[in-house]
Structures are given as C-alpha cells and as structure tokens.
Structure 1
C-alpha cells in the first residue's frame, strides 16, 4: 500500500484522516486504492472535477503514467476538451445518451464539438472556451490603483 502511495507522491499523508486531505490528494488516494487491486481497467468518474489546475494535472499525469507504464486501460469522463485532447488517445462524445463522436483527439473539431455540446437556449454554439481549463488573455488589461468604494452605502 505504501508503494502505491509513494508512486502517487502522497505517502507522507498515509496516517492523516482522509477528511484532512485536499481534493487532489483524495483523488490520488483513490487511484492508489484502485492500483492495490491490480486492475486491468480503471474507471475514473470525473477525476478532476473541482480540482485546481495544478492538482488536475497531477491526477491526469498519474492516470496517464499508469496507462503507459502498467498497460492498464483508463476510461474516464471529462468535461474539459483541452484535457481530453492532451491525455486521451480516443475520445467518445455523447449527447442525449447516444454516441455522436468516436475518434482520436485530432478529429475532435468544431463540428464534433457542436454535435456533443449542441447550442445554448438562444441557438448559439457553445464556446469551447467554456469547456477549457486553459487561461488565455486576448489583451492586457491595465490595473488601476484608485481608491476602493464600498459596494453598499
């Protein structure tokens, strides 16, 4: 058990109560527990939901490492397309309970995204930026150092 925790860089937390661990640490403990069962397949249900970008990367790197080094199939559901493109060699997109896309990440184009996510209530396509953990600024915004006003008098 300690070896599995060491592999996921959380052995130092082995004696801590689970409730004191961060979300990322809890996810890594769950992966270590799964590894103890010597699985042929790991099913990871939204493994990075509610994690900050750094912990999301650590968890996804761990799952990818397990897949590549151990040959264990990892099946996961993700809602961030950039993460799926980065870590997955096959992406299956579903809408209304049906498979509408099944292919490699490089084929997940705008049309495929439209099939998966559809449109909003106004008929507008869903922006892929909404499904991304990437942070990008199109222009620099000057910071102001003026006095703060109370929001409520």
Structure 2
C-alpha cells in the first residue's frame, strides 16, 4: 500500500482459507507487507451480510467499494448473493459509501437491467466499462456514483 493518499482499505472475505493464503500461505510473499500496513483491514465476513449491517460511524464509510462477488447481477452461483444486486442490496452499498463515492461491480457480462437498477437506487454517472481478458470475451465493471 505504497500510495500515501489511501487512508484505509478493508477487504471483506468470507473464506478463512483465502485470508490465510495471504497472511501466511502461498500468497504471503506478495501480500503480507500490504496486510501489515496499519491502513489495511481484513474482515472475515460474508460481503452481503457485512453490507447489511451498515456503517455505525462515518469512519465506516468509503470513497469506493470495489466488489467482485459471484458472476454478476444476471447470473449468481450462490443464491444469497443475488441480494447484493437488489434495491435493498444497492441501498446497503450506498450507505457504505461517502457522498460522491464510487461503486464498482465486476461482472462476467454487461447488464442493462443492472444499470437501470443502479439509477433507480439513486446512483448517478452510471456506466459499464469492458475489461479485456485473455480468454476472449471481455468482463465488465459496472460503475456508479453515490449522490450527495
């Protein structure tokens, strides 16, 4: 986390094994220094549930939420993850964002319906950016800004 402008970063991961890979497992050589930075926090929790709990203080809001969960809004493997893309889930994301904060949601494919859901949830500057991948079909990131 060499970037001095970053105040703090929280990573929410539900699988303890994935966290362990970064702390003292096969990925530790690449990520252990980042995890040792006092600005970094690893939260062992289900993301959808963590979002539902909402921030208790202003310090628990973020300038950006970058979500990579499941396959995207139109095709979830884990049934409970579809709640993230619902009006309630998007409201929970907005609550975790500071005014003007950016929501970035990775997806295996674009979704015009999800873009509309973001707008209906009060997000502005909604757009979808393609991300080239080696296997051919581009992934996408849905981007939206929380209003003031």
Regarding TM over 0.5, the answer is no
* TM-score, with length taken from structure 1: 0.34
Greater relative CO, 1 or 2 (CA 8 Å, sep 6+): 2
Kindly indicate which of the two structures has a greater share of residues assigned to helix: 1
TM-score (norm 2): 0.35
Larger strand proportion, structure 1 or 2?
A: 2
Bigger Rg over Cα: 1
